[in-house]
Chain A
Amino acid sequence: MSKNTCSRSKFKPLTRRNFLKGTAASAATLAIPVNTSDASVWQAFFQKHFQEMSKAEMAEVIKRLEKNYGEKYKTSFNIKTSTALPDTLFGYGLDLSRCIGCRRCVYACVRENNQSRDPQIHYISVLEFEKGHKWVSDLEEADKYYYPHEVPEDGHFYMPVQCQQCENPPCVKVCPTRATWKEPDGIVVVDYNWCIGCRYCMAACPYGARRFNWGEPQIAREEINPETHYLGNRPRYKGVVEKCTFCIQRVRGNPGRYPACVEICPVGARKFGNLLDPKSEIRYLIENKRVFRLKEDLNTAPKFYYFFAT
Chain B
Amino acid sequence: MRKVDKFLIPLCLGTGIFILAAGSVARGDDIPQYFVPPPPFSEGIFPCSDCHADMEANPERRELEDEHVEISGMFNHASEQRWCLDCHNEDDRDKLRLANGDLVSFEESYNLCGQCHGTIFRDWKAGIHGKRTGAWNGKKQYRLCVHCHNPHSPKFKPIKPLPPPDNPLEIQYKKLSDEDIPRNPLGNIQ
Q: Which of B43-51, B71-79, B94-102, B178-186 sits within the interface?
A: B178-186
Residues of A within 8 A of B171 (CB): 119-120, 214
Given known A214-B173, A264-B189, contact A110–B158 (CB-CB < 8 A)? no
Q: Which of B80-88, B105-113, B120-128 sits within the interface?
A: B120-128
Residues of A within 8 A of B161 (CB): 101-103, 146-148, 150-151
- Binary flags per residue of A107-118, CB closer than 8 Å to B gives 1, else 0: 110110000011
> How many Å from the CB of B120 to the closest CB on chain A?
8
Given known A274-B136, A309-B128, contact A221–B160 (CB-CB < 8 A)? no
One of A108, A216, A258, A274 near B132 (C-beta < 8 A): A258
Taking CB as reference atom, which chain B residue is nearest A152? B158
Residues of B within 8 A of A103 (CB): 161-164
Provide the main secondary structure of the chain B interface.
loop
**A147 touching B182, Cβ below 8 Å:** no
Q: Which of A18-26, A167-175, A196-204, A249-257 sits within the interface?
A: A249-257
Residues of A within 8 A of B183 (CB): 117, 220, 223
**A257 touching B134, Cβ below 8 Å:** yes
What total of A-B pairs shows CB separation below 8 Å? 144
> How many Å from the CB of B136 to the closest CB on chain A?
5
Q: Is A263 an interface residue (CB 8 A)?
A: yes
- The residues in A between 111 and 170 inclusive whose CB is less than 8 angstroms from any CB of B are 111, 117-120, 122, 125, 144-152
Taking CB as reference atom, which chain A residue is nearest B182? A117
Q: How large is the interface on A (under 10, 10 to 19, 20 to 34, 35 or more residues)?
A: 35 or more
Q: Is A266 an interface residue (CB 8 A)?
A: yes
> How many Å from the CB of A96 to the closest CB on chain B?
13
- Binary flags per residue of B40-69, CB closer than 8 Å to A gives 1, else 0: 000000000000000000000000000000
**B190 touching A106, Cβ below 8 Å:** no
**B165 touching A309, Cβ below 8 Å:** no
Residues of B within 8 A of A117 (CB): 181-184
Given known A147-B164, A219-B181, A223-B184, contact A281–B176 (CB-CB < 8 A)? no
Which among B123, B161, B175 has the highest number of chain A CB atoms within 10 Å? B161
**A104 touching B189, Cβ below 8 Å:** yes
**Chain B interface residues toward A at CB < 8 A:** 123, 126-139, 143, 148, 156, 158-167, 171, 173, 175-176, 178-179, 181-186, 189-190
**Chain A interface residues toward B at CB < 8 A:** 85, 93, 95, 100-104, 106-108, 110-111, 117-120, 122, 125, 144-152, 214-216, 218-221, 223, 251, 253-258, 262-268, 271-274, 280-281, 284-285, 288-289, 309
CB pairs A–B below 8 angstroms (10 shown):
A100-B158, A117-B181, A118-B176, A147-B161, A218-B175, A221-B178, A251-B136, A255-B138, A284-B128, A288-B128
